[in-house]
Chains A and B, each alone.
Chain A
Amino acid sequence: MLKQVRRTFLLIKTMKILKIITAKFAKNDRIGYALVMPYIVHFCLFIAFPFGFCFVLLFHKWDIVSEMQWVGAGNFYHIFQDKLFFKAIRNTFTFLLVHIPLQIGIALFLAEMLNQKIKFRGFFRSVYFMPVVVSGVVITILWDQLYAQDTGVINMIFVQLGLPKMPWLTSPYLAMPSIAIMATWKNVGIYVVLFLVGLQNVPKQLYEAADLEGASHWYKFSRITLPMINPTMLMVVILSTINGFNLFIEPYVMTGGGPMNSTLSAVLYIYNQGFYFYHMGYAATLGFCFAAIVFLVVFLQRKLVEQKPLD
């Protein structure tokens, strides 16, 4: 009974506070706040709260079920002794080194082709985009079968051509490049579309003027096309870098981080720490440091790639 009275009293008190708050806003403001409310709720629940909680975890040891234990800077100190994390970072950079140039090269080449007046242009544009909309897990399982050493289609073709069977996913040297090739195949469609938009915005008169001067294809590409699509290039580099840093599904499904940790990406390592071993505090700290690295790399890329647009 006392509990019920107390609850009602609390309810009335809260309503009074809410009444004061709501009275402060003009009617028009209230509509505005109501409209942005879904976003604010989403932001609070899925961005602000996890971010704040992550900050708390940085200084704690927590296995999800037990009480949190304060460890101060212990998690940060542990990172410097964790060779596997640095290996995971190195692996991620190896992936990026193969993935980004390959992605940009192929996407630009395909966009250039699809920008020409060719037959079935619409069809090809859709086909290249198709892998982007297919689930990453499905594509990974498909490529896992293609890469199989004894029974995979790729090695069967190799044998038909008189080439040796390759240990695509079981060689520590080949596994990460193999994953990078697959990731490129999956994502290239989206970058083709971006480059296509960039290419279509290059003024035609620049090419006409170059034609009058007798410029070669390469000259036009290097002196007109590339500088003109520089903002698109910057966007593609940054997007593919951020996507590359998020490498997770592919090694998780295909290799589990092996062989010899050669495909252990930073995100996979953080996931393992958090959800296999329940080192939530340490995983949060790794995530925090990794985010700082991503930020630094993207910042440097922006400085290096961005150029002043042509007049």
Chain B
Amino acid sequence: MKNTLFLPTTFLLLFAACTSDTREAPQSITYWSANNQYEIDLAKVVVAEWNQQHPDFPVQHQPIPEGQSSEEVILAAVVGKNAPDVYSNMWPGDVQLYARARVLMPLNQFADFDSVMQARNSAETLREARSLDGNTYQIAWKTNPIMMIYNSKMLRQNGFDHPPATYSEFIEQAKVITADLDGDGYTDRYMSLLDIRVTWWQRFFDFYTFYIAASGGKMLMQDGKIIFDNPSAVAVFRFLRFLFEKGYCPLEKAQGRVDAFLSERVATRFTGPWEIKHAEKFKPEGFEYDFAPVPVPDDFAGPRYTYGDIKSIVMFKTRQKSQKVWQFVKFLISQKNDYRLLELTTQLPVRKNILQDSLFQNYFVKNPALAVFAKQAEFIRGTDLSAGLKEIFDAISQEYEASVVYGAKSAEEAVKDAAQRARLILK
């Protein structure tokens, strides 16, 4: 009898122990940061200072667990009801999904939200972060504006003393730069490199960046409606198609083992400030490079916007006391910690008037390459807040591939079809 009951009893006791729900709400905040070394170092410094000042409500920092992508890990954590109180690497395109599922804290419910945010961000940035339901679930924390990196020495040696600023200039320089250097009948040097993979997020770094620049800062949607079927999008498709058609860009997937830019196979690329550290580390001797805004149509006038590749801070609805968590979020986005973000990670905080701020000025004097990005950061756009954004970008990517890469469709037709599909997705 004893034997008969031993196993079920043990099992049940273990089960009861595991399912016990008598735990108190923890007296600490869990904070997940991105898991690159620079941001881990930053989080450690920030959290150490917070914990020193708030021993009654400490923060436990953890880099986001390894996974195929941080988006997937966060999704798994939310589904498993294991999400952190604060997460600082949220892709804004996913915010709407979680907001709709009511797992995010509306930050505008805090009494001092408006005053804190107005001191930090421009009205434009705050409007962009606001969801369609009128609530704000995210704080735009850091940005990596996409710009054109160019081989200044190569351009100079070929008779160009400035980087191309317009489509015509880009094409004019491409005619000279693109060349078969060894006479074997194959092109050895190209003007630029654009990723030809159809994966939806690749379009952030080509079509979307060029579209934002060409349209003077328009996004795909306005008031929840698709607006990208306009002459700017068509102009971008046409221009990029021309580059592939004339062979100024290789019709080849970028290979990880060779850096086409540093090995001087291409004269330009479209990239973010992370390229600075990489280029400084791996550039060959005598290699010269600089950054410039993305080229725009010839008749364009006005500020040259770009895609900001913004990452946000969000607060998940947990059992934690939200006021305390909000205090930590405010601490995280304070001027001092924004400076640490810049200094330790070389990523730009989304903060207005950063170039005029005396705290940041010295840093930019010492790091002029990053000052170019800081200047560009005044004219950035993020992504629209829509739960169907990935699908919309997928639709654009399908049409981009058909029209720009393979020329199977006209630019007008491709843009029209992409917009039509996007409208269906929103329905």
Binding site for B on A (CB under 8 A): 3, 7, 11, 14-15, 18-19, 22-23, 63-66, 144-145, 148-151, 159, 165, 167, 169-170, 172, 255-261, 272, 275-278
Contact = CB atoms under 8 A, between A and B. Distances in A.
Contact of B390 (A3, A23, A148, A277): A277
A66 B101 contact: yes
B402 A277 contact: no
Contact of B8 (A19, A150, A165, A277): A19
B394 A149 contact: no
Given A15-B8, A260-B406, A64 B258 contact: no
B4 interface: yes
A150 B187 CA distance: 9
Contact of A258 (B250, B257, B258, B401): B401
B72 A170 contact: no
B197 A255 contact: yes
The residue among B5, B12, B78, B198 with the most chain A CB atoms within 10 A of its own CB is B198
A277 B392 CA distance: 10
Contacts of A165: 186
Contacts of B186: 150, 159, 165
A74 to B, nearest CB: 14
Contacts of A257: 198
A258 to B, nearest CB: 4
A259 B404 CA distance: 12
B9 A64 contact: no
The residue among B4, B100, B257, B402 with the most chain A CB atoms within 10 A of its own CB is B4
Contact of A259 (B5, B13, B196, B257): B196
Interface string B246-266: 000011110101100000000
B255 A159 contact: no
A245 to B, nearest CB: 22
Given A15-B8, A148-B255, A259 B101 contact: no
A65 B97 CA distance: 8
A161 B5 CA distance: 78
B79 interface: yes
Interface residues of B, number: 41
Contacts of A14: 12
B387 A63 contact: yes
A251 to B, nearest CB: 11
B117 interface: no
Nearest to A7: B16
Contact of A63 (B12, B97, B199, B394): B97
A15 B197 contact: no
B394 A259 contact: no
B146 interface: no
Contacts of B402: 260
B98 A170 contact: no
A167 B401 CA distance: 16
B408 interface: yes
B408 A258 contact: no
B16 A260 contact: no
Contact of B406 (A18, A144, A148, A172): A172
Contacts of B250: 149-150
Contacts of B406: 172, 259-260
Contact of A11 (B16, B78, B199): B16
Contacts of B387: 63
Nearest to B101: A65
Nearest to A165: B186
B101 A170 contact: no
B103 interface: yes
B322 to A, nearest CB: 20
B285 interface: no
B331 interface: no
Given A65-B79, A260-B402, A150 B252 contact: yes
B398 A261 contact: yes
A259 B197 CA distance: 8
A231 B229 CA distance: 59
A45 to B, nearest CB: 15
A23 B4 contact: yes
Nearest to B76: A64
A258 B200 contact: no
Contact of B251 (A3, A22, A170): A170
Contacts of B16: 7, 11
A149 B252 contact: yes
Given A148-B255, A150-B186, A151-B258, A65 B78 contact: yes
B184 interface: yes
Contacts of B426: none
B385 interface: no
Given A65-B100, A150-B186, 6 more contacts: A11-B16, A19-B5, A65-B103, A159-B184, A170-B251, A261-B398
Contacts of A159: 184, 186
Interface in B5-35: 5, 8-9, 12-13, 16, 22
The residue among A144, A259, A261 with the most chain B CB atoms within 10 A of its own CB is A259
Contacts of A150: 186, 250, 252
Contacts of B196: 170, 258-259
Contacts of A23: 4
Contacts of B390: 276-277
The residue among A19, A64, A258, A272 with the most chain B CB atoms within 10 A of its own CB is A258
B261 to A, nearest CB: 15
A121 to B, nearest CB: 37
A145 B8 contact: no
B391 interface: yes
A261 B406 CA distance: 12
Interface string B376-420: 000000000001001100100010011001101000000000000
Nearest to A148: B255
A259 B97 contact: no
